[in-house]
Structures are given as structure tokens and as C-alpha cells.
Amino acid sequence: MVLTMGITTAGFLIVLTLGYFLLFKPLPYAEQDKLYLIDYQRWDQHKVLQSAAILHPAAEHLYQQLQQSAQDTASQQALLYFTNEVLASEPAQPRLANAYVTPELAELLSIKMAVGNWFGHDYRPGSFNTGAVISYQAWQQLFQQRHDILTLRLNVNGVSHPIIGVLDKAFVAPQLTEIGQEPQLWLPWDYNNSPFQGSWWLTDDKIFLLLKLEQSRLQKLSTELTPIVNEYYQQHIIAHDNFRNWQVVLEGRPLRDALIADNEKTLLLLVLGAAGLLLLALLLSGLAVRSINYRQLSHALQGSGKGTDVQVSPAIRKSLVVAQVSIATLLIFFSALLVQDSIAKLNRSLGFDSQHILQIEFDIATLDWQGWDHYAPQVAGLGEQLRLRPDVEQLSFAYSPLADLYQLAITDMANDRRYYPWHRNVDHHYFSVVGQRLLFGNTFTRDDLGSDKVVIIDQAFAELLTGADIAKAIGQSLKMDAATAPMTVIGVVENLQLPGKHIAPPRFYLPNYGTALWMLVKLKPDTELNRESMIELLHSLNPQFILTRFNLLDTSIAQANFPHRVRLIAAISLALFTIFLACIGLFGIMHYSVQIRSIEFSIKLAVGAQYHHIVKDSIREYLTMLILGIGLATLIALTSLVIFYDWLIPYLSWHSLLLYAVTLLIILVTLTLSNLMPLRSFRTISISNKLRGLYETS
């Protein structure tokens, strides 16, 4: 009891400490309770919330409206856009986490500087003044903490920015997009190169509008500005039937809530789990204390303390064993289910082959965009040069198969039903490069490039269209809202089972023009293409071509699976911890039970019983309690399955029966060892010593 209570109390305190850091520890910003992010909620015609992320042009419009609507809050809002940029001014072209911001951010987040200054008011949107601020870590790692740092310039997207300041070492930027992704480079808002700048229908979840004001003032602003921004939104989507009758509502969300995200639910589960274990230790301790016959104990103490091993009634002792068996069975089984689920998600087939595939992305470092027709021949030449390399087997101008970027509306022309599958643009080499299996029909050919008349769908989309007979999807006509003519389904491919997605959503593939700013390069076995060679090749084709991504697809998969690996480690740790506690509990109660019956067993041995008779007698008693405990655990498990069916069913399969059998085996082995180990003393200690307590008491 002391050991289990100590362990569970320690676990509970650890979880509470984590909860304090997440929920109650003050943020490193002054007046943190006044910091809010604006949610740009878009509700469809059925009053269903489709998105709360703010659109890029809507963010800029709302920023201007906030400045005009109330002069007393003119400096109390700031725009942030998080992305990654390449320093073209550096030979290695490092890719840095970057944030484009408006100058008011310094006041909102209490920004302090180690060297130089933050952006002044002359950097407000529309000024197009150049300048860059770097983090303290970037100053150390990239520039070796040079004292002349303010004399250097950084080339980003073809623009030369002078370094005007270095952030204080203690400053912590709000991590609103990716955990651990803290900006190393800060640039003025005017120079952000977001592909969503003019889009009123594609969402970019990396743009934020931060406010600092009283909650009462926030509610008033939301009420005042919602009609204005909603009217402005309607003006820009009037030509898009897909957004007809959509409405915009502005809501303020505390910055802390955004930083915690879904971790609050996870933390709550941890607290409940730790509290449950602690409550179970307390419950068993309470039962043990209440089961003691204090009157009999008092008489025993008055008689020199002999006979104290008969305080607990047999009924209570057996009930404790049954409770321990049932609780241990349930805890071990449900822990094993978590382990099984985590392993299954890590080992499941993704639906494509990721071995020896490089993900390469590059960009054109300029704000003076010449149009894709100007760059397409150079990009096509890049593809041809790569195909001639001895280390390259094949390449495809297509984005990573791990990313679902755009979800578009498609109508089935046969029954006029609308669907919202995920959209991908690929070339005619894509399916062979990634090894995504064709189930029916054909893949794209060179003649299909740039065509808007053919489409390939995955198995999930085909099942929506035709049911079980997915082959019937071949030849069906589908129409996108933005298209003028329908498309014909020419092929059905295997589903992609991406990390982080429980089911495979419907997807469709359209042919691109055979060039893009991203590609998948399949290398020959035992070869490699290094980053430096790729940078040189890009620079030889166009000095404005910069490498923005260069890594193996397997590396990205490992990163995407990182949460599952953490969950697996946590599940295994929980399972081992549960088994450990169960073993301690069972051993403790069995050891105590044998001690209580020590006089009984000694008398039997004294009158001629053999040691194996004692063992059989003890096992026979606890075999009944084992069956009762397992039966009770099974009943509770089945009841839980009925009550929480939707939540538990994803974790269950036919393998779960094997897990349950293994759980019972662990309990049986633990109970047997817990019973046999105390009985060994009857072999090593003389019967007279065992009986001495009886004689002295009498």
C-alpha cells in the first residue's frame, strides 16, 4: 500500500505540475489577459461552421477597419503571417522559420531587443520599407554573434533587407502554427509572399490578427465590425456558387487558448487517469483500514501483541482479492489496447512506396513575378537534366503525397449530388514514382497534361459514387463548380492512409501541365543526390531559383508519425506501470492472506500434511476468487463497450481477444507467483516456530 500510494501520488503531482504550466502559469507577455486572436468564422447556408481561420485579404481589410473604427485602439492590433523563407544571400541557402508582421507587435508582446531596434511606425503596411530582425538564436548559430551584425543585409525573395535588430535572448514567440517552430527571422508585412494574398475562398491557417484590449471592448468591436466585414466578404464571393449564402461572424479567442489548442483535452484525460489511480489506492486503503477489527486488535495488544494476524474477516479478505484481480485485468487490457492501436497506426500501409524518394521544392526569389509561362521552360529543363543523372530513376512534378491542401466541391452529373473530396494536381509520372496502385482503368498519359476533361479518383471517392462496385466509376462524369465542362473518370487508384487521419477521405487527381515548383525524385538504390548539387543546378538555370525543401519522403513520414511514436511510448509505459502496480497489489494482498492462514497451515503440517497439500489448498481457494475477479472484469468491459461503443470500437478487433487472453495469463501468473512465494517459508522455517505464536497466545 505504501509503495503503490507513493507511485500514484507522484504521478498525480507530475500531471498537476504539467497542468499548471499549461493552464495557469503566466505567459511571458504583459497584460496577457487582454491578448486575443480574431476568429473569422465562416458559416455555410446550413448554419454549419466551415472554418475559423482568417482569410489573407480579410485579415488586411479587418486590420484597416480596426484602425479606423477606434482611434484609442489604433496601435492595439497586429498582423502575423508564419512561413519559411530561404536566405539567398547565404551560400548554403538555409531555410529559416519566418514571420511577417506589422510593427505594433512589439507593444502587444512586450518585445525587448538585445541589439538594435524593432520595426518602427514607418514600417506600417504600405510603406514597403526594408528591414529584418533576427532571433538571438539565429544571431548565435548563423552569424556567430558578430558584433557588426547591424551592418549585414539578408536577401529574401529577391529583396535585400538590412538587419536592424536582434531580439532579446529571453523573448519567446507565440507558437501558433507548429509546436517548436519559433521564428528566427522577422520581416515587414509588406513583403510576405503568401500564395493566398488575393484569395477569398482558399484558407491559409498561418495568418493571424492579434488584438490587445479589454474583453468588454472586444465584444463591442465584434458587434460593430461583423456586419462590415460580412458585407465586404459577400462582395468578393458573389461569383462563387459554392459560397452562396455563407455568413461571416467575428469572435475573439484568448491567446492562451490558441497556444494550448487541443492539449487541454489531453491534459484533462491525464488528470482524470492519474486521479483515478490515486482514488483507487485511497479506496483500497480505506477498505483495509475499515476491515480491521480494532476491538480484537486491542485484546491482542493487551496479550503481548500475539494473534494480531486475525484482524481481517475472510469475507473482506476475499473481496479485496476479487477487486484487485478485476481492476488489474481491466487496467492491463485497456493499456494493451492503446499499445496495439499505436503499433497498428505506425505499421499500417500508407498506400504508396516512400523508399528512395526525395521531396524537392524550390521557389523564385522575386516579388517581380513574370508569370508561369516565363519560368515553365526553365523548370522543364530542370526535369530533363535531373532525369539524365545516373542516380535518378524517375521524377514527377507533383506535391508530396502526405499533404491534403485543397478541398473542392464536385457534382456527380448522374444524380446531381455534391461531394467535397481533396484535390491534387499530378503529372503522368506520379503514380509510377510513388507506387500508388491502380485498381481500375488507366493513369494519365503525356497527352492528358493540362487537360480539364479527365480525372482519376481514389477508392474512397469511388465508393461514394457507386457503392461496393467501384469499377462502375470508370466513365462517370464529374463537374467542379469552377469548371465549364464535366470531367470523365478514367481510373481508380488505391486509397492513401496518411498519418494522423483515421480514415481515408475521398480524393481526386487532375493532370497538371508537366511542370511545377515541387517534385518527387525517385533515386536508384544505394545512390544519393546532395543538397549542394541541387542548389548549383537551380542556380545555373536561373539565379532566382532557390531551394526551399530537400528531404527524403521517409523523413517526413517519420515526422508525421512522431505523435504516434510518443503515444506508443506513453502507452507502453502506462501498460508496464499498470502491470507493476497490479503485481504489487496482488502480491501484497496474497502475502497478507497467507500470513493470516499461517497458523492453519502450520497445524496441518504438524498433523502430517505434505507441503504440496498446503499449496493445493491455497490455490484452490484463490482459483475461485480469480474466476470471480475475471468474470467481474469481463462484465465491466462489456458494459463499457455498450455505453462507450463509438469511442471504443476503433480500438477493438479480433486481435483484441488475443490481448484479453494474454492479459488473463499475466494475471494468472502474477496471482500464482504471489501465492507461492509466501508459501515457500513453510519449507524453510520449522513448524515449531510457526506454531509458537499460537501457543504463546493461548
Domains of the chain by residue range: 32-260, 291-348+563-697, 357-553
Cell output for 593? 492472506
Three-class DSSP category at 431: helix
C-alpha closest to that of 447 among 513, 537, 356, 374: 513
Residue 79 · residue 102 · CB < 8 Å: yes
The rounded distance, in Å, linking the Cα atoms of 241 and 229 is: 19
Q: How far is CA 267 from the centre of its chain?
A: 14
Alpha helices in 561-654 (DSSP H): 562-596, 598-606, 611-643, 645-648
Give the per-residue pLDDT at 305: 45
* One-letter identity of residue 537: L
Residue 395: CA count within 13 A, CB half-sphere = 29
Q: Measuring CA to CA, how many Å separate 35 from each of 27, 183, 207, 427, 687?
A: 10, 20, 16, 46, 76
Give the per-residue pLDDT at 310: 47
Give me the long-range contacts of 676-683 (CB less than 8 A, separation at least 24): 676/615, 677/587, 677/591, 678/590, 678/591, 678/594, 678/595, 679/594, 679/601, 679/614, 679/615, 679/618, 682/601, 682/602, 682/605, 682/611, 682/614, 683/611
CB contact set of 34 (below 8 Å; sequence gap of 6+): 212, 213, 214, 215
The rounded distance, in Å, linking the Cα atoms of 446 and 292 is: 85
| Length in residues, the chain | 698
Cell output for 527? 545512390
Q: Measuring CA to CA, how many Å separate 471 from each of 465, 513, 597, 624?
A: 10, 27, 72, 57
Cell output for 478? 464529374
The rounded distance, in Å, linking the Cα atoms of 577 and 570 is: 10
Give the per-residue pLDDT at 648: 73
The rounded distance, in Å, linking the Cα atoms of 698 and 696 is: 5
Burial 580-608 (b: 16+ CB within 10 A, else e): ebbbbbbbbbbebbbeebbbebbebbeee
Q: What does the longest C-alpha to C-alpha distance in the chain come to? A: 107
φ, ψ of residue 43 to 5 degrees: the values are -105, 130
Alpha helices in 113-177 (DSSP H): 136-141
Residue 538 · residue 380 · CB < 8 Å: no
Residue 255 · residue 77 · CB < 8 Å: no
What is the 3-class SS of 497-563, one letter each residue?
CCCCCCCCCCEEEEECCCCCCEEEEEECCCCCCCHHHHHHHHHHHCCCEEEEEEEEHHHHHHHHCHH
Bridging pattern class, strands 185-188 and 95-101: parallel
Q: How many CB atoms lie within 10 A of CB 555?
A: 12
How big is the CA angle at 92 (ends 87 and 93), to the nearest 5 degrees? 25
Give the per-residue pLDDT at 321: 78
pTM: 0.64
Place of cell 459514387: 465
Averaged in consecutive runs of 10 residues, what is the pLDDT profile of the chain (698 residues)?
77 82 82 90 84 89 81 70 85 86 93 95 92 95 92 90 95 79 91 85 84 86 88 84 83 85 65 71 68 60 49 71 81 80 80 91 82 90 92 93 82 86 92 93 93 93 90 92 84 88 87 93 90 89 87 87 78 76 74 73 76 78 83 86 76 80 85 78 65 49
Residue 410 · residue 419 · CB < 8 Å: yes
The rounded distance, in Å, linking the Cα atoms of 506 and 461 is: 4
Q: How many CB atoms lie within 10 A of CB 160?
A: 12
C-alpha closest to that of 155 among 208, 229, 93, 88: 88
* One-letter identity of residue 25: K
Residue 417 · residue 408 · CB < 8 Å: no
Place of cell 551560400: 91
The one-character DSSP state at 90 is S
Radius of gyration of the chain (CA): 34
Give the per-residue pLDDT at 309: 47
In angstroms, how far is the first alpha carbon of the chain from the final one? 31
The rounded distance, in Å, linking the Cα atoms of 215 and 254 is: 10
The rounded distance, in Å, linking the Cα atoms of 107 and 30 is: 9
Bridging pattern class, strands 545-552 and 357-364: antiparallel
Residue 498 · residue 560 · CB < 8 Å: yes
CB contact set of 520 (below 8 Å; sequence gap of 6+): 357, 358, 359, 360, 395, 396, 398, 400, 401, 430, 433, 434, 553
Three-class DSSP category at 160: strand
Three-class DSSP category at 280: helix
φ, ψ of residue 362 to 5 degrees: the values are -140, 165
Give the per-residue pLDDT at 175: 83
C-alpha closest to that of 207 among 77, 357, 425, 38: 38
Place of cell 519566418: 98
The one-character DSSP state at 53 is S
The rounded distance, in Å, linking the Cα atoms of 15 and 602 is: 47
Give the per-residue pLDDT at 74: 45
CB contact set of 357 (below 8 Å; sequence gap of 6+): 433, 434, 520, 521, 522, 523, 552, 553, 554
* One-letter identity of residue 316: I
CB contact set of 184 (below 8 Å; sequence gap of 6+): 96, 97, 98, 134, 135, 137, 138, 142
The rounded distance, in Å, linking the Cα atoms of 385 and 392 is: 10
Cell output for 364? 523564385
φ, ψ of residue 191 to 5 degrees: the values are -100, 10
